[in-house]
Amino acid sequence: MSVSRITGCLSLVAVAFALTACAGLGSSSNPAPTPAPSPSSGSLNSLNHIILFMQENRSFDHYFGQLNAYRAKQTPPLPQDVDTWTSGTDKTPTNVSTPSYTPDTGQPGPPIKAFHMQSACSENLSPSWNETHRIWNLFREPGAFPMNGNAFVEGKFAHDEFVAGLPNFTDFTGKRAMGYYDDTDLPFYYFMAANFAISDRWFSPAPTRTHPNRFYWMAATSQGLITAPDHQITVKTIFEVMDNNHISWKIYTTDTHTYFSYFTYFNAHHANVVPVSQYFTDVQNGTLPQVAYIETGIEINEVSSSGVDEHPKSNIQLGAQFAAKLINALMKSQSWKDTVFIETFDEGGGLYDHVPPAPVPSPDGIAPIMPATNQPGDFTLTGFRVPLIVISPFAKKNFVSHTPMDYTAALKLIETRFKLPSLTARDAAMPDMSEFFDFSTSTGPWGTPPIPPPQPVNMPCTQGVPTG
């Protein structure tokens, strides 16, 4: 099924809005609010709070390419039905490789095989428009997506940056693009991904870098942008729609920075942006808004403003440990019973993934704003697959969705749950994420949440040419 034929959506925010919308139906002619359907009726109305948490620049295979091996080790073993780069075996992917970059000639060199990263950090990579389109199809084969350009493209990127005067780049072959992690590095994520609900067909919305994709996360479009803008954009956000329908929302930030500030609607809504410390207070006190975004800084000049956002150059174990703190606090609180926490990543970061982009509708018909010399393309293809974990008492146990969608599905979830209009043709085309949930009981499959393992911070954090 193509994404353009999907009819639902993902956002936990949608769920929260629906609840409030129902409560607001009372009037003088109908003084008593219509009660929400009971959880046993199989309704998204069981969800009163939707939390959306987005981290930085990780592809699905790079983080979760070893999930089948982890699932096989459980007692009893879980189905090994995750689509990974090793076709379900999840042994060390020795047959996966992409051509390297040769600095002396600028030509493709010997292939670099996928390997287990030995550092929690790496030099930066580029997921920008031109680089992404070469990663998909290094040799420009007509109509093909061989997904064969990662190492070459990232080696060339590092070499070009070095020549331009950025001496911190040293990985000129692009080896870092072929590295991966497993459950020994990210035990908390692997535990949560195996026990709760995930997808192996969850894509970033646009084939480019962080800023435009983050705009889709809030507005279901980038208004034609493929890079970070130097001005605010005017497109309507989900926050304006929620305000118009009396749905409560907050953005919790680690360092006061938010991607919401790139929208003009932000100018009169600073008060909705609060420190992440308030999240922990709201979770414990049962005062979460209906919809919440959690942000760990913004990317400025390809460098993140936070040490816990899992961006290349940052320590992924510190980021995963921060995620564990957020999620564990929720699972141990009174807020757990009617909340969904959705964690995902904004784009693939130039790191290897074997699945081609999915077809999607253009959100608004606006063409990419870019020079004619750029790689051709439009907004009818997604970016790369990225990790997703849907965490809730109502999340299906051990579930893997294979339905293609991009993460504007989270907005569709908001709209479905609270009967809101779509922002663009993109979120309108998405599934509503109801397949991730089981409302057959009043408490859900995870009324009593599991106890995940601690997330260690025990790997070295080194830059340079990676080992492994």
CA distance 389 to 372: 38
Contact between residue 47 and residue 339 where contact means Cβ atoms under 8 Å apart? yes
Contact between residue 209 and residue 191 where contact means Cβ atoms under 8 Å apart? no
Whether the pLDDT of residue 452 is over 90: the answer is yes
Percent of the chain whose pLDDT exceeds 90: 83
* Bridge partner residues of 253 (DSSP): 275, 295
Q: At what angle do helices 129-136 and 150-163 cross, to 10 degrees?
A: 150
Predicted confidence at residue 164, as pLDDT, reads: 95
The backbone region for 27, taken as left when phi is positive above 0, alpha when psi lies in -120 to 50, beta otherwise, is beta
Predicted confidence at residue 4, as pLDDT, reads: 36
Predicted confidence at residue 22, as pLDDT, reads: 33
pLDDT single digits (tens) 393-436: 999 999 999 999 999 999 999 999 999 999 999 999 999 999 99
Predicted confidence at residue 87, as pLDDT, reads: 64
What is 257-294 written as a DSSP string? --GGGGBGGGGG-GGGEEEHHHHHHHHHHT---SEEEE
Backbone phi, psi, residue 67, to 5°: -65, -35
pLDDT band at 302 (very low <50, low <70, confident <90, very high): low
Predicted confidence at residue 27, as pLDDT, reads: 30
Predicted confidence at residue 200, as pLDDT, reads: 97
**What does the domain layout of the chain look like in residue ranges?**
3-27+43-81+183-301+309-360+379-436
Q: Which long-range contacts (CB under 8 A, 24 or more apart) does 71-79 make?
A: 71/194, 71/398, 74/194, 78/194, 78/398, 79/398, 79/400
CA distance 466 to 12: 37
pLDDT band at 91 (very low <50, low <70, confident <90, very high): low
Both tokens of 342, joined, read 């959705």
Segment 362-374 shows an average pLDDT of 97
Segment 307-311 shows an average pLDDT of 93
- Of 250, 159, 194, the C-alpha closest to 79 is 194
pLDDT single digits (tens) 200-227: 999 999 999 999 999 999 999 999 999 9
* Bridge partner residues of 389 (DSSP): 198, 343
Segment 428-457 shows an average pLDDT of 97
Percent of the chain whose pLDDT exceeds 70: 89
What is 197-212 written as a DSSP string? EEESSEE-SSSS-HHH
Both tokens of 192, joined, read 């949560």
Distances (CA, A) of 21 to 10, 14, 40, 184, 239: 18, 10, 20, 44, 15
Backbone phi, psi, residue 107, to 5°: -110, 165
Mean pLDDT over the full length of the chain: 90
CA distance 27 to 246: 15
Please count the CA atoms within 13 angstroms of the CA of 10 that sit on its side-chain side: 37
Both tokens of 200, joined, read 């192996």
pLDDT band at 24 (very low <50, low <70, confident <90, very high): very low
Predicted confidence at residue 95, as pLDDT, reads: 82
Whether the pLDDT of residue 18 is over 50: the answer is no
Predicted confidence at residue 42, as pLDDT, reads: 66
Segment 249-276 shows an average pLDDT of 96
pTM of the model: 0.90
pLDDT band at 356 (very low <50, low <70, confident <90, very high): very high
Of how many residues is the chain composed?
468
User: Which segment of 14-23, 225-234, 245-254 scores lowest on mean pLDDT?
Assistant: 14-23
What is 5-30 written as a DSSP string? G------HHHHHHHHHHHHTT-BTTB
* Range 3-27+43-81+183-301+309-360+379-436 has CATH code 1.20.120.450: no
pLDDT band at 307 (very low <50, low <70, confident <90, very high): confident
Segment 142-154 shows an average pLDDT of 95
CA distance 317 to 308: 8
pLDDT single digits (tens) 28-77: 333 333 334 333 456 899 999 999 999 999 999 999 999 999 999 999 99
